[in-house]
Amino acid sequence: GFGNVGIYTLKYVLEHGMKVKYIMEYNKQRGVFAIYKKDGFNFDECFKISQTKEKDFASIEGCEVISTEDFFSADVDVIIPAALENAITTENVNLIKAGKGPKANGP
């Protein structure tokens, strides 16, 4: 997700030299959607959209909407599920190629 945790995690990882190419988010117009940007997202463009009512990250120039399957199966080093509980499920967990990511469990 790309709420407060997600947006400031983006800022942190960019400041530490990482590149973020994939984002998954939810808004009322699209429901759950994923986007990809070959050159990576930058904090300023994402922060600006995070402050809007629509939160339409798919409007970022140069990004494309991708399937959630493509999102979870992306060839990445790290996945950060800054999301609500149950974003990663038994249906998509086996798609994940990332070798690293925070671990969590529900209440």
For domain 4-95, give the fold. Rossmann fold (3.40.50)
- Asked whether residue 51 carries a pLDDT value surpassing 70, the answer given is yes
> To the nearest whole percent, how much of the chain has pLDDT over 70?
88
Is 100 within 8 Å of 78 (Cβ atoms)? yes
Q: What is the DSSP string of 29-71?
A: TTEEEEEE-TT---HHHHHHHHTSSS--GGGSTT-EEE-HHHH
- Asked whether residue 101 carries a pLDDT value surpassing 70, the answer given is no
Query: What's the confidence (pLDDT) of residue 17?
Result: 96
CA distance 4 to 82: 9
Query: What's the confidence (pLDDT) of residue 104?
Result: 54
pLDDT tens digits for range 33-47: 999 999 999 999 999
Tell me the three state secondary structure of residue 11. helix
pTM of the model: 0.83
pLDDT tens digits for range 72-89: 899 998 888 776 666 777
Q: Which among 44, 49, 56, 58 is positioned nearest to 14, based on CA atoms?
A: 44
- Report domain extents, the chain: 4-95
